[in-house]
Each structure stands twice: as structure tokens, then as C-alpha cells.
Amino acid sequence: MCWSAQADAVAGAAVAGIGVACLVRARRSGRPQRLPLAALPLVLGVHQLVEALVWLGTDGELPSALAGATRTAWAVIALPLLPVLVPVGVWCAAHEPGHPAGPGRRRVLALLALLGAAVAVPLAVAVAAHPVTATRHGHTLGYAIGIPYPALLLTGYLLTTVGSLLISGDRLLRRLGLLTGVGAVLCALLWRLAFVSTWCALAALASLLLLHWAGHLPTDRR
């Protein structure tokens, strides 16, 4: 997610720290429904710390077994975990007292959570059935896993993650959805050019927005 092991380690530690603060803030707000989504920054921080180890593995600085385990851990978080965690977290938050989401919106969020689970199953099977490889791609890492129907699963992945944020009914989460959608496109373009990986910057911005959201009253019924 960053351009080197050192960058991933520093950014991962910072994002994980924001994640802990986010969980504490959500807990102190008296809204336990926010805890699943408030855990997202901590997950993203751990993900970056894991990728720091993946970088070391590609440089031959880790035993092969440990290098393989770190690649698998990276894939588990990136693929089957996030399309479940994000829509479920948004759905849980929509059930807190005073949330602007009505019954119809909550049903849509529930369907997106189910779609996320459906997307996660073949992704989890792919991670379990195929070895995860990682190679240097300029200033980025390229991963190969052997995912079936990649275009279809990518569409479902984006619908469940970005889509659930956009229709959450909460203004701050809608901003997070816009940030994530636009940022993902820009990061992917830079990654394909092998220029530099900027996913860690996107994770940091998203985590700061979630930290603000964790202690903020839900607003906006549109």
C-alpha cells in the first residue's frame, strides 16, 4: 500500500494509532453500533504493517515460510475481509438511535452486506486454494492470487464497500464514500504506471474522516 517497507511501517503505525483512537471515541460516544466501522482504521493500519513484512519478503530478508504467511495475511484482509466489514459496519451504524436512515435504506444496506458476504466467499476460496505471490512493480508491489471472474467480483466489491458508504444516509460517511471511490481510481492509475503506491495516503485520509465521524452526531436525511 506504500512505496517501501519503511513507508508502510511508519504509515501503518500511524493509521493503527488513529484506529485505536477511533474505537475509543466510538465507545465513549455511547453508540456501540459504530464500533464495527470504527474498527476499519485499525484494520487498515495492521494491513500496512503486514505489507511492510511483505516488502522484506520480496527482498529475501524473511524466511520463505514467514514471507508466504505475510502475503496470505495481506490477501485475507484486502480481499474477503473488507467487503464484509465495511457494509456490515455501515448497516450497524444505521441502527443507532437518531440515525437518519429509514427502514428502506436499512434494507438496502442489509442487501449490500449480504452481497459483500457473497463476494467474500470466492475470494476466500481463492486465497486458500492458491499461493499468494508478490513482486516489485516499480515503487509498488504487484500481487497475484488467481481470482475467478475478476471483473464481476471487483464490481461486487466496489458496490459493497463504496456503495454502502454512499447510501448510508450519513453526510460524513457519504463523504468517505466519495473520497474512497475517487481516491481508489487515482491510486490505481498511479499503481499501474508503477510510479508510486499512494494507497497508504488514502487509508490515512479515510481513517481521519472516520475518527471525526466516530464522535459526531449522524446528520442529513437525503
Q: Which of 101, 96, 123 is nearest to 31 (CA)?
A: 96
CA–CA separation, 167 vs 149, rounded Å? 26
pLDDT score recorded for residue 174: 96
Summarised one tens digit per residue, pLDDT across range 107-124 is: 999 999 999 999 999 999
CA–CA separation, 64 vs 57, rounded Å? 7
Provide the grid cell at 90: 455501515
Rounded to the nearest 5°, which phi and psi values hold at 140? Answer: -135, 175
Pairing relationship of beta strands 140-144 and 133-137 according to DSSP bridges: antiparallel
Where does the pLDDT of residue 220 fall: very low under 50, low under 70, confident under 90, or very high at 90 and above?
low
Check: CB of residue 99 under 8 Å from CB of residue 93: yes
The pTM of the full predicted model, rounded to 2 decimals, is: 0.92
pLDDT score recorded for residue 217: 72
Considering the chain, what is the average pLDDT of its residues?
A: 90
Q: Is the pLDDT of residue 221 over 60?
A: no
